[in-house]
Amino acid sequence: MIEATSCGGVVIHRGKILALYKSYKNRYEGWVLPKGTVESGEEFEETALREVLEESDVRASIVKYVGVSQYNFSVPEDLVTKEVHWYLMAAESYHSRPQKEEYFLDSGYYKFHEVYHLLRFANEKQIVEQAYNEYLELKRANLWLPSSRRF
C-alpha cells in the first residue's frame, strides 16, 4: 500500500466557492476542489496555498483549518491511501485561470448549492459543506474579512 498526503482549499470570494473542471484523457472527468501533493520540506498550509495558486491562478489566504478527508484508489502497481488536509480560504477577487498542463479545462466561483451538485466526489461535497458552514458562522460574527484587509 502507498500512503499519500495532499492539501487543498475551499476558496471563497463574496460567498461563492471556487471549483475546477478536470478532464484527463477520457478516463477522468469532473468538478473538483483545488488540491495537491505535499512536497518535501513543505508545511501543509504552504502546500494548500501553492496548489490553489498553481491549479487556478488564485491568490488566496488561509482563514482556518477545516479538516481531513481520506480515500483509496488503485494504480496498476498498488493501492493508494490518500489523506487530504483542507483549509478554508479567502480569495481577493473572482479571477481564476485553470492550469491546462494538469488537465483543468474550466474554473469559476459558484453558489454553495451549485458547487455542491457540481462536485464529483462525496468527500469533497462533505468538506465544502463543512467549510461553507464555517464561513457562514464567521460572517454572522462579523469576523469574515476580505483577504486584502487581513494583511
Tens of pLDDT, residue by residue over 113-144, are 999 999 999 999 999 999 999 999 999 999 99
Residue 147 has pLDDT above 70, yes or no: no
- Phi and psi at 134, nearest 5°, equal -60, -45
Q: What pLDDT score was predicted for residue 10?
A: 98
Residue 28 has pLDDT above 90, yes or no: no
Q: What is the pLDDT of residue 151?
A: 32
The letter for the amino acid at 137 is E
Q: Looking at the predicted structure, is the pLDDT value of residue 13 above 70?
A: yes
**In the predicted model, is pLDDT for residue 51 greater than 90?**
yes
Q: State percent of the chain over pLDDT 70.
A: 95
Which whole number is the average pLDDT over 52-75?
94
The CATH-assigned architecture of domain 2-149 is Alpha-Beta Complex (3.90)
Residue 146's pLDDT is 58
CB 73 within 8 A of CB 129: no
* Angle (CA) 33 47 16, round 5°: 30
List residues bridging with 60 in a β-sheet: 91
Would you state the pLDDT for residue 22?
94
What was the pLDDT predicted at 116?
97
| Residue recorded with cell 483549509 | 87
Among 32, 42, 56, which Cα is nearest to 5's? Answer: 42
Determine the Cα–Cα distance for residues 131 and 87; give it in Å rounded to an integer. Answer: 8
